A = this chain, B = another copy of it.
C-alpha cells in the first residue's frame, strides 16, 4: 500500500468521474447440482459486456481466509486498511439505524435480557420481545434516567436490540462489556480499560443499575446487556485523501452511515436499484465520485436462497443500461465480500471485481464471474488497492517520485 500521505500528494482534481457499484455479498459458491455459482447461474448480459471492456480480478476484502463484517468490507473498498480503521460494534449498530452521532459520542450495542430472581441471565434476548415492546421500554428508560455527567440516549432496533449512546465531555469508549455472552452468569460490571475511562465506566454502570430498577417488573425484559462500546474512528475523509467530491447512493442505513463516516454526501436513493441509478443520473454533474450500494444479493445469500440471489443479480444487471448511458470515465463493479447461499453467511472467498476505463488494459475475460475473473489482468489483490486503481484510471494521480 502506498499510504495516505503519498496519495494526498499525488492526487489532483480533474473532471473525470468514477462510479463504484458495490453488489453486497456478490461472491458465491457453486450450487451442488449445477456446479455453477450464483453469478455464473444468473443471466447477466450487461455485466458480461462490461467484463469484455474491463480489466478483471478478484479481491480479498481483508486478507486470505478472513470473513469480513459489513463495516470492514466497505472500508476496504473505500481504500481504508480495515484492520487499522476498525469501527466498533456500538458505532456499527448506530450507523445501522441512521442515528445522528456527534464525534465524541460513545455508542454501545444493547440487548434486553431476562434475569432470574438471583440476578442470573436466563435469556440473553428476553425471548426476542417484539419491536413494539422494545420501543416502549426504550421510551421508559429515556424518560426516567438522567445521569448528571452524561446524557444517555436509548434507541430501539429490531426485537430485543437497541443502541445506547452516551453523550458528554471527555468520555472514553475504553470499556469492557456487561454482556457475559452466555446464560447462567450475572451481567458483568463494566470496567475501564484505561485510566481515562474510569468516569465513563461509572456512568455506564450507573445507567445499568438504574435500568435494573426501572425494569424489575418488566419480565421477560427485566435487564439490559451492553457490548462494543465505541466511538467513531478518527478517519481521514475521501476528500482529504483523494481530493474527490464523493456522493453515496445507498438504501440501507448501515451503508449510508459508513459512507458518511468517510465524508460522502448522501443522495436520496429511492426504493430499488432503478431508483438509485436514476438518482445517479440526476446528480451526475454535481460530484466526481459515486458509491452505489445494492443490498439484496447479500440478504438472499444470508437467507440461503440460491435462486433468489441469482434473481437479485439479474435485477442489478437489468438496471445497468441506465448507468452505462452515463459512460463514466471509470466504472468499478465488485462486492464487499462473498455471501454464498450454500453457506448462508458472509464468507472469506475472494470477490470478483472489474474496472472499466479508457486506460484499463483490457484482459481476455468475457464474463463476470468468480472463475472467469481468475484469469483477469488485476489478478488477486487486497480490496484497499481499488481506490488507487480507480484514481489512476481516472487520470487523477500524479507520478510517484522523479
Which residues of A come within 8 Å of B, CB atoms?
Answer: 1-3, 6, 10, 29-30, 58, 62-73, 82-83, 86-89, 92-93, 228, 340, 343, 345-350, 359, 361-364, 370-371, 374-381, 385, 387-393, 397-402
In the complex, what residues of B have CB within 8 A of residue A400's CB? 62, 66-69, 72, 82
Given contacts A388-B66, A389-B64, A397-B66, whether A374 and B375 have CB atoms under 8 Å apart is yes
In the complex, what residues of B have CB within 8 A of residue A348's CB? 389, 392, 397
Cβ A401 vs Cβ B359 within 8 A: no
Cβ A402 vs Cβ B66 within 8 A: no
Given contacts A348-B392, A392-B348, whether A63 and B397 have CB atoms under 8 Å apart is no
Cβ A343 vs Cβ B359 within 8 A: yes
In the complex, what residues of B have CB within 8 A of residue A30's CB? 361-362
Cβ A63 vs Cβ B346 within 8 A: no
CA distance A238 to B364 in the complex (A): 39
Cβ B359 vs Cβ A2 within 8 A: no
In the complex, what residues of B have CB within 8 A of residue A381's CB? 64, 380
In the complex, what residues of B have CB within 8 A of residue A359's CB? 29, 340, 343, 347
CA distance A340 to B375 in the complex (A): 22
Cβ B67 vs Cβ A397 within 8 A: yes
CA distance A3 to B343 in the complex (A): 25
In the complex, what residues of B have CB within 8 A of residue A10's CB? 66
Our pick among B86, B387, B399 for the contact of A68 (Cβ within 8 Å) is: B399
Q: Which residue of B is nearest A348, CB measured?
A: B392
Across chains A and B, which 8 residue pairs bring their CB atoms closest together, nearest first? A65-B388, A379-B380, A69-B401, A65-B392, A72-B401, A92-B402, A64-B385, A65-B389
In the complex, what residues of B have CB within 8 A of residue A379's CB? 58, 374, 379-380
Q: List 5 A-B contacts (CB under 8 A).
A: A3-B83, A64-B389, A82-B401, A228-B402, A349-B361
Cβ B93 vs Cβ A397 within 8 A: no
Additional pairs, 11, CB under 8 Å, beyond known A3-B83, A69-B401:
A10-B66, A58-B379, A64-B385, A65-B397, A66-B400, A69-B400, A72-B401, A348-B392, A364-B371, A370-B377, A379-B379
CA distance A93 to B398 in the complex (A): 18
In the complex, what residues of B have CB within 8 A of residue A402's CB? 69-71, 87-89, 92-93, 228
CA distance A56 to B102 in the complex (A): 48
Nearest CB of B to A170, in Å: 25
CA distance A83 to B377 in the complex (A): 24
Q: Which residue of B is nearest A29, CB measured?
A: B361
Cβ A391 vs Cβ B2 within 8 A: no
Nearest CB of B to A75, in Å: 9
Q: Which residue of B is nearest A389, CB measured?
A: B65
Nearest CB of B to A355, in Å: 10
In the complex, what residues of B have CB within 8 A of residue A228's CB? 402
Of residues A66, A350, A362, A374, which shows the largest number of chain B Cβ atoms within 10 Å of its Cβ? Answer: A66
In the complex, what residues of B have CB within 8 A of residue A374's CB? 363, 375-377, 379
CA distance A378 to B387 in the complex (A): 23
CA distance A68 to B399 in the complex (A): 6
Nearest CB of B to A187, in Å: 21
In the complex, what residues of B have CB within 8 A of residue A66's CB? 2, 6, 10, 388, 392, 397, 400
In the complex, what residues of B have CB within 8 A of residue A93's CB? 402
Nearest CB of B to A392, in Å: 4
CA distance A362 to B30 in the complex (A): 8
Nearest CB of B to A153, in Å: 20
In the complex, what residues of B have CB within 8 A of residue A390's CB? 65
Q: Which residue of B is nearest A92, CB measured?
A: B402
